[in-house]
Structure 1
Amino acid sequence: MAKSDAIEGSKDPDLIKLVEEQQVKVPEKKKPRAEQDVSDLLDMKMQKYLRGEAANLEVLQDKKLKTQLVIKEKLYGQSAKAAAKHEQWLMPNEEGFLEAEGFEKTWRITQQSLLNEVDANSSRKAFDMILPELGPYRMKYTSNGRYMLLGGRKGHLGLLDMLSFDIVKEFQVRETVRDVEFLHTEELFSVAQKKYLYIYNRQGTEIHCLKEHGTPLRLQFLDKHFLLASVNTFGQLHYQDVTTGEIVANLRTGLGRTDVMRMNPYNSIIGLGHSSGKLTMWKPTSAKPLITMFCNPGPVTAIAFHSNGHLMATAGMGCRIKLWDIRKFEVLHSYFGHASTLDFSQKGLLAVGNRTHVNVWRDYKGDQRYGRYMTHEMVKGYQVNNLVFRPYEDVLGIGHSMGISSILIPGSGEPNFDSWVANPYETKKQRREKEVHSLLDKLPPETIMLDPKEIGTVKQPRKKEKKSKKEMEEEMEAEVETAKAIKLKKKTKGRNKPSKRAKKKEEEVLKAKRPFVEQRLKEEQPFKKQKMIAEGEAELPVSLQRFARKQAA
């Protein structure tokens, strides 16, 4: 038995007293190396979830307040520790992409070879739905990736549950369909048809016919603001609040018809691509575009925004695909190629569609320099219409002239979902509660701006522009003429003398001149002070300065 154990186990008071007198310190039992490493790693991870350093509670005199704060700090520590422990069960963000060995290239891996390697559940996500008589098709996913809405050019609409692969509703509107868009939930969706914009529920019942939008070409929904945005054949951009039914804004772009429209998920700014090669960015509270930039020498054919809001991809008829840094509005990289549709995934992959070719690019080094990652060739004659990545899944949806397709793109989706933001497995009760909370947290249109970080800050006052001497004289003359033109009231006898009337008019003229004279004196004062300092008068008291001037005279 060790000496320290013998001392700890002993009840002899003399031995305990001897230890106290000699100040013998009993060493603590050390943790094993593995446990110590785990504890240090846990403490390091806890720092990420803590609210900064703990408050110094020793300076508090109020015991009740001190006790309450101690309990609060203890709860903060427990929650941070629990979050750090749960972090080890999350999927790593770096993994999930295809890795090539030796001379192998990832873009040479076909979908068939991928399907042979993945599990049965993942292999179900890759499919082809051939509908040759009703295309071309456009498709959209809900924010949680569970439901898919497809719209055929010849009036075919369908709502699919992608977890069970069941058709929720399928119907024919017998009218041209140009675009489809989900609203805040899968319960309602909007359709841009031949003449008007319609809203349907998931049973296929027509809820609204919005004639104010004109003939819509493209649709976007701003989920944080509950605004439905559309651009029509006359180049008019409409914003409508779906909660109140009010038209928030009706903006004229002045650049003609456009069918290229995307929303930046970071700040809810709408980007429009025009036939002149220009790209404009809009918000509902501004009659003019926030940004107008020349992107391509030919018409803009596609736009896509990264989820971080700082990276934008554009394509045009000039056979150039460009990546832009929106913070500086400059081109990062330019690639040779043509694209009719673009889309960014949650993990930053860029899908490029053109004719029968689908290419997926990846940022390998994190410097926004994209390279080829995967390719997919459609059947000859299948023209790609639009590409959409499915949220929280490694799946790319393709709408083409002969129907819709779904292919596997490893690493494209976010592996960890936040159930408070988007829950693919939510129940009806959870959906209803989420809808109520999102309505309570609805943001006004005034919060849409290029830099959302400016919300809550104080706007700096503008500096007044200095007017020239000539402009000030002209303004003063205008004010004097206005003062002279004032007609005075005729007063009683004795108070209406010509001398008094002239004096009153002179006072009005002096009153009009006063602000201009004061401003001129204010501007000349610094120069007079500098002159006095140069002559040495500014150092003397005022009375001595006057005496010095008299003596000099």
Structure 2
Amino acid sequence: MEAAPTEPPPGDAAQKKRKRPKPDAYLASIGDRKLKGRLRHTENLIAQSSKAAAKIGEWLAPAEAGTLEAEGVEETWQFQQQDIAAAVGAGARSKAFDLVLPELGPYSAAYTRSGRHLVLGGRKGHLAVMEWQRQRLTCEVQVAETTRAVTFLHNELFWAAAQKKYVYIYDKRGLEVHCLRDHTAPAALEFLPHHFLLASVGEAGLLTYQDTSHGAIVAQHRTRLGPCAVMRQNPHNGVLCLGHAAGTVTMWTPNITTPVVKMLCHRGAVTAVAVDPTGHQLVTAGVDCQVKVWDVRTFKPLHAYFANAPATSLDVSQRGMLAVGQGRRLQVWNDALASKARSPYLTHALPTGGVASLRFCPFEDVLGAGAAGGFSSVLVPGAGEPNVDSFLANPYASRKERQEAEVTALMDKLQPETIVLDPDSIGKLLREPSQVAKERRAAEDEANRARRREREETADEKARMKGKNKPSRRQRRKQSNVIEEKRPAMLARMREEEERTRAAAAEEKQKRVEAVPRALQRFAR
């Protein structure tokens, strides 16, 4: 008795010989050879382009940012810039440099949102814009007066400088475009890119908001806390954080004339303020030699760091690294916001003098430090965001793309009223208490009942006239000649009016004749 044939196992050779459907099997039902060839060629191009895009995506977009790792007993803060530059590629090595400008400092610095351009402002009037990655100077100007702060506007084509009396706006050629005389004696500048607002505060303690799209002053608030030179914006909600000499930090919005939040942070003047990109942590530094981290959601301190000298500048990178400048030395702390770090991530001594301003470059592992004698670019591995969002800021944008992005930003511009502490509250409905809702519904029902009673009373008082408004009668009234019916009465009234007029004229004539002497009456007319 023969056994029934069995199916071969999955790994058997017979299973391998089984024909698999081809990717383009659906093309077999197409009779047109030209159409079939075109479709097959299109599929091949799509497959090649998808493979190439996948390779480029893996090359351009790393999964996570790389940081320094120490081996053995060595710590990361012991690495010098020379050691880091020797371990990275030639392209990254060129991003570390020092500009020695000993006669025109101290310098304040600012980067564009894309990180391609850098603006420097010397205290003695030296202003310069450069495409720092290519080491190419865009423009340079000497204004011959004190300059305290600089910042870019919506892109690299326009930038602002807080000079001795007013704020001036320059273009990419270094030519003065506007003089903003409403910003008097400015000491700090901030630009809100989503609202197109330029904010300044200075010696008079006057916080000024100006819309750069149409040039109008949006708001002016008197802080009433003396001169202020410390200001930083919260990138999450657009609220401005100001540091004052009394050790307080105030938060301002353009639609409220008083600070929305007022915090006592230090036992002395506040020297620097910084906010992380998420807007959840606030970092402050004061003359009491402390650097404190605050939770903006609860307005409570998380932890504090003690130093041997007051910090003069602070900044937080896109990946949450904290940079602290003290004298000639700067420190970079990793994971120091959510929890208290034990030791700094990197340390560096500036060869160009004391630290005046610190700014992390977006999408780059670079920290820019404006110093008393120039500017230094420091390599900080893992500081920048490795995955570039071209919709937010495109470092590789062409001229056409930049123009389209500018138009899109203007069309999507937010109004100043949207600057609030909790931006998630915009668009939500405020739920009223149940008792208030119940009273409102009762009032609506009573008003409806009163209106119904009034309509019923009006309907009862209306006189009913049966047959007076039939269609036939309406038609006869339309066809009848109203003038012919009233003609006899009109003629009678006209005859009576003529008789009265004739009698009055005869009586008047008789009176005139009688008034003439009797001897002359025969000549009277």
TM-score, normalised on structure 2? 0.71
Aligned to 1:333: 303
Find the aligned partners of 2:63 and 2:81 in 1 and give their Cα distance.
23
Aligned to 2:179: 209
Aligned to 1:416: 387
Which of 111, 117, 137 aligns to 1:167? It is: 137
1:463 Cα deviation (Å)? 9.6
Which of 210, 223, 246 aligns to 2:216? It is: 246
Q: Deviation per CA, 1:312-344: give whole Å up to 9, x if none.
A: 110001111101111111111111023110000
Aligned to 1:457: 428
Paired AA for residue 178 in structure 1: R
1:367 Cα deviation (Å)? 3.6
Find the aligned partners of 1:308 and 1:370 in 2 and give their Cα distance.
23
Residue 294 of structure 2 corresponds to residue 349 of structure 1: no
Extract structure 1 runs of 4+ deviating beyond 3 A: 2-6, 26-29, 81-95, 364-371, 460-465
Q: CA 1:94/1:417 → structure 2, altered by over 3 Å: closer, same or farther?
A: closer
Q: Deviation per CA, 1:69-128: give whole Å up to 9, x if none.
A: xxxxxxxxxxxx999998755644544100000101100000011112221111110111
- Describe the SS at the equivalent of 1:213: coil
Paired AA for residue 350 in structure 2: M
Aligned to 2:103: 133
1:459 Cα deviation (Å)? 2.3
Find the aligned partners of 1:320 and 1:364 in 2 and give their Cα distance.
14
User: Is contact 2:285–2:311 with CA below 8 Å preserved after alignment?
Assistant: yes
Which of 362, 372, 387 aligns to 2:344? It is: 372
Paired AA for residue 242 in structure 1: T
User: Is contact 2:114–2:394 with CA below 8 Å preserved after alignment?
Assistant: yes
Which of 298, 306, 331 aligns to 2:276? It is: 306
Aligned to 2:258: 288
Find the aligned partners of 1:463 and 1:5 in 2 and give their Cα distance.
73
Which of 144, 153, 160 aligns to 2:123? It is: 153
User: Is contact 1:218–1:230 with CA below 8 Å preserved after alignment?
Assistant: yes
Which of 419, 429, 445 aligns to 2:400? It is: 429
User: Is contact 2:321–2:336 with CA below 8 Å preserved after alignment?
Assistant: no
TM-score, normalised on structure 1? 0.68
- Identity rate, percent: 48
Which of 181, 187, 190 aligns to 2:157? It is: 187
1:163 Cα deviation (Å)? 3.0
1:200 Cα deviation (Å)? 0.6
Find the aligned partners of 1:82 and 1:313 in 2 and give their Cα distance.
44
Which of 398, 401, 404 aligns to 2:372? It is: 401
Which of 317, 329, 335 aligns to 1:363? It is: 335
User: Is contact 1:363–1:371 with CA below 8 Å preserved after alignment?
Assistant: no
Aligned to 2:24: none
1:183 Cα deviation (Å)? 0.3
1:205 Cα deviation (Å)? 1.1
Paired AA for residue 141 in structure 1: Y
1:371 Cα deviation (Å)? 3.8
Aligned to 1:448: 419
Aligned to 1:267: 237
1:162 Cα deviation (Å)? 2.1
- Where structure 1 has 5 or more consecutive residues not aligned to the other structure, the ranges are 7-25, 32-80, 466-518, 520-553
Q: CA 1:366/1:195 → structure 2, altered by over 3 Å: closer, same or farther?
A: closer
User: Is contact 1:363–1:370 with CA below 8 Å preserved after alignment?
Assistant: no
Q: CA 1:274/1:464 → structure 2, altered by over 3 Å: closer, same or farther?
A: farther
Q: Deviation per CA, 1:295-322: give whole Å up to 9, x if none.
A: 0011000000000110111000111110
Aligned to 1:143: 113
User: Is contact 1:349–1:363 with CA below 8 Å preserved after alignment?
Assistant: yes
User: Is contact 1:108–1:374 with CA below 8 Å preserved after alignment?
Assistant: yes
Find the aligned partners of 1:328 and 1:122 in 2 and give their Cα distance.
40
User: Is contact 2:95–2:133 with CA below 8 Å preserved after alignment?
Assistant: no
Find the aligned partners of 1:94 and 1:88 in 2 and give their Cα distance.
12
Find the aligned partners of 1:85 and 1:118 in 2 and give their Cα distance.
23
User: Is contact 1:393–1:414 with CA below 8 Å preserved after alignment?
Assistant: yes
1:460 Cα deviation (Å)? 3.7
Structure with higher RCO (Cα < 8 A, 6+ apart) = 2
Find the aligned partners of 1:237 and 1:464 in 2 and give their Cα distance.
42
Aligned to 1:116: 86
Find the aligned partners of 1:133 and 1:226 in 2 and give their Cα distance.
35
1:5 Cα deviation (Å)? 8.3
User: Is contact 1:225–1:445 with CA below 8 Å preserved after alignment?
Assistant: yes
